[in-house]
Amino acid sequence: ALAAAVSGARGPGATADGKLVPLLANIGGPADVESALAHGAEGVGLFRTEFLFLDAATAPTLEAQQAVYREVLSAFGDKRVVVRTLDAGADKPLAFLPAGDEPNPALGERALRMMRHHPDMLDTQLRALAAASSGLPVDLWVMAPMVADGDDAGFFMDAARAAGLTGKAGVMIEIPAAALRARDFAQAVDFFSIGTNDLAQYAFAADRQIGALSRFQDPWQPAMLDLIASAATAANTAGTSCGVCGEAAADPALACVLVGLGVTSLSMSAPALPLVRAVLAAHTYSQCVRAAEAARRATSASGAREMARAALPGLRAVG
């Protein structure tokens, strides 16, 4: 029965009792649009724009950016498309933005920090997005990567407004300090999106690119659940939405736990969408909450996974 539900799954993501949880796709450019739509994405929760420019020797012009953004935005009708501004540096080096001579690039002037150093480049990107969406029905949201605190958040919100963007502007929560004190700036932004890949890297002081440290990339770690709960609670209190767009969202049991922690949308690589949709639809919201509470009582990642699975009876149909 679940196999049929998975293959036939369409329509909005929701729990069994009808709590809507938009299920969105992570994309890197126009090449990923078809798969997103084919897998029933309700929009895009993370458009990694730096992927478009990995090989560019010079900074892309406003016109070049506008053309490729338009190609993506026009494919999604009136759906939500969340575009992340350039996340350059560390694991995503860009040739036209050479890194400084830093011993620890992941802790350096990367992502929004680099854009604060080159505000003209951020402004060009935001203006290209505003121009690209002009006249389209798309629900364009923009967000900044690697926001550490309210000062970073305020900088980005000002930049988005100055560039003429009128849709939602928000911040990624992927630095532990930002997750812990999300309440300080939840009211200053339109939304949060939690990046569990970097959040794990920084919470465990473990480089995400080092395979030997991969156990620290496990989003079931109770410390990760606590950080996510902190950000989601701050968002819920402020009446702000809080998505997850890191790899964690693609694990069906964890997707239920995230919803139980207060996360309001999930974005993942497109092929993961049907199973997450089916498993979410097999559980009520209160089952998700109980699974989240059970997982947070555990003292290890494997314990959290077991506790949550025990609290999610609909998973058994998956086998």
List residues binding Mg ion (CB under 5 A): 174, 195, 198
Q: Are 5 and 278 in contact (CB under 8 A)?
A: yes
- Contacting range for ligand PEP; rule: CB under 6 A; set: 68-76, 193-201, 210-218, 255-263: 193-201
Q: Which is nearer to Mg ion, 138 or 142 (CB)?
A: 142
Catalytic residue among 242, 245, 256, 288: 245
Q: Which is nearer to ligand PEP, 15 or 230 (CB)?
A: 230
- Contacting range for ligand PEP; rule: CB under 6 A; set: 125-133, 191-199, 213-221, 284-292: 191-199
The set of residues, in sequence order, having a beta carbon less than 8 Å from that of 167 and lying 6+ positions away, is 133, 139, 140, 141, 142
Asked if 85 is part of the footprint of ligand PEP (rule: CB under 6 A), the reply reads no
Asked if 246 is part of the footprint of ligand PEP (rule: CB under 6 A), the reply reads yes
Q: Are 198 and 217 in contact (CB under 8 A)?
A: no
In three-state secondary structure terms, 66 is: helix
Asked if 269 is part of the footprint of ligand PEP (rule: CB under 6 A), the reply reads no
Q: How far is the CB of 247 from ligand PEP (least distance, A)?
A: 7
Distance CA 3, CA 1 (A): 5
Distance CA 125, CA 81 (A): 15
Measured in degrees and rounded to the nearest 5, phi and psi for residue 267 equal -125, 135
**Is residue 127 a known part of a binding site?**
no
**Is residue 174 a known part of a binding site?**
yes
Q: How far is the CB of 156 from Mg ion (least distance, A)?
A: 15
Is position 245 annotated as part of the catalytic site? yes
Looking at residue 225, its amino acid is L
**Is residue 290 a known part of a binding site?**
no
Which residues lie across from 44 on neighbouring strands?
25, 81
Asked if 198 is part of the footprint of ligand PEP (rule: CB under 6 A), the reply reads yes
Q: Nearest Cα to 167, choosing from 184, 147, 191?
A: 191
- Rounding to the nearest 10 degrees, give the CA dihedral for residues 99, 104, 110, 113: -110
Asked if 218 is part of the footprint of ligand PEP (rule: CB under 6 A), the reply reads no
Asked if 304 is part of the footprint of ligand PEP (rule: CB under 6 A), the reply reads no
Asked if 251 is part of the footprint of ligand PEP (rule: CB under 6 A), the reply reads no
Asked if 45 is part of the footprint of ligand PEP (rule: CB under 6 A), the reply reads no
DSSP secondary-structure letter at 89? B
Tally of CB atoms within 10 A around 317: 13
Distance CA 188, CA 315 (A): 38
Distance CA 319, CA 272 (A): 16
Asked if 195 is part of the footprint of ligand PEP (rule: CB under 6 A), the reply reads yes
**Is residue 208 a known part of a binding site?**
yes
Q: How far is the CB of 135 from Mg ion (least distance, A)?
A: 31
Distance CA 144, CA 46 (A): 11
Asked if 48 is part of the footprint of ligand PEP (rule: CB under 6 A), the reply reads yes
In three-state secondary structure terms, 65 is: helix
Asked if 197 is part of the footprint of ligand PEP (rule: CB under 6 A), the reply reads yes
Binding-site annotation: residue ranges for phosphoenolpyruvate: 48, 84, 197-198, 208
**Residues annotated within a binding site for Mg(2+):** 174, 198
Q: Which are the catalytic amino acids?
A: 245
Query: Which chain residues interact with ligand PEP by CB under 6 A?
Result: 46, 48, 87, 174, 195-198, 245-246
